[in-house]
Amino acid sequence: MIYTDNRLLSVGLVGGTCSRHYGNMRDISAQNNVYKALNIPPEKILHFHQTHSDTIISITSAQEAAQFAALPEQDADAWLFTAPGWGAAIQTADCVPLFLFDEHGHAFALAHCGWRGVVNRLPFKTACALKNTGRCGKIFGWLGPHIQVCCFEVQADVAAQFSPSSLHRKDGKIFVNLNLEILGQLKEAGVNPLDIKTPYYCTCGDEKNFFSWRRDHVRQNLLSFIYKP
């Protein structure tokens, strides 16, 4: 199953997050099987080395995308596109795949939001970068499957880095609601929270459909991708 937002398709974008049934996406052949099934040219999907940072790579033309594809993978955690014919992918195993796109599909972004990236305000910075392209109408967003508040227990030192409103306390334990934290950052960037969908798919709590580092401590990843033909 591929989890997605129908609004992506309505603006000419193909994207979503694959369930574990497609295999471990650390394997390039598993990735290529997904792209083949969706008629996406694998060579048109860009990749980077994820480092839980706030670094955003912007692709503004087909020429720039081709040049980037020829280079060794760079360190970054978010993609921003204002050029069709290309797309990008990230891998997660509890982190949040954040999809942002404008109402016309002229500009779109995909960010790998681990808790460190969220603390570094990657969602806010990605939304601001999208708006600053000057090609955006109304911005929509979708949060793909990730660890939810039910399972994301943290210690006090990590909890202190989040907004108090994003914390949930139960039985002496502290849990972080990444949905609320990201929604707050997107609102601060000028995105209407009502235009952001946050479906409750928990990677840690749903072993049948998702890999989870928190649950299994095994290096198995899900794939999230976005592409505009």
Rounded Cα gap, residues 120 and 201, in angstroms = 24
Mean pLDDT, all residues of the chain: 97
Report yes or no on 128 lying in a domain.
Answer: yes
Average pLDDT, stretch 91-113? 97
E strands in 23-163: 45-46, 56-59, 78-81, 87-92, 96-102, 108-113, 139-143, 153-154
Report yes or no on 67 lying in a domain.
Answer: yes
The reported pTM is: 0.97
Rounded Cα gap, residues 8 and 60, in angstroms = 19
Q: Indicate the pLDDT class of residue 134, thresholds 50, 70 and 90.
A: confident
Check whether 2 has a pLDDT greater than 90: yes
Report yes or no on 8 lying in a domain.
Answer: yes
Report yes or no on 54 lying in a domain.
Answer: yes
pLDDT at site 137: 82
Average pLDDT, stretch 96-111? 96
Per-residue model confidence as pLDDT tens digits over 203-213: 999 999 999 99
- Domain with residue 96: its CATH number is 3.60.140.10
Q: Which domain holds residue 196?
A: 2-147+192-227
pLDDT at site 152: 98
pLDDT at site 100: 98
Percent of the chain residues topping a pLDDT of 70? 100
Rounded Cα gap, residues 161 and 148, in angstroms = 17
pLDDT at site 11: 95
Per-residue model confidence as pLDDT tens digits over 164-207: 999 999 999 999 999 999 999 999 999 999 999 999 999 999 99
Cα 140–146–148 angle (5° rounding)? 105
Check whether 135 has a pLDDT greater than 90: no
Rounded Cα gap, residues 60 and 155, in angstroms = 41
Report yes or no on 181 lying in a domain.
Answer: no
Pairing of strands 78-81, 56-59: parallel
Per-residue model confidence as pLDDT tens digits over 48-85: 999 999 999 999 999 999 999 999 999 999 999 999 99
Q: Indicate the pLDDT class of residue 33, thresholds 50, 70 and 90.
A: very high
Report yes or no on 211 lying in a domain.
Answer: yes
pLDDT at site 144: 98
Number of folded domains in the chain? 1
Q: Indicate the pLDDT class of residue 141, thresholds 50, 70 and 90.
A: very high
Report yes or no on 184 lying in a domain.
Answer: no
Check whether 91 has a pLDDT greater than 80: yes
Report yes or no on 44 lying in a domain.
Answer: yes
CB 87 within 8 A of CB 105: no
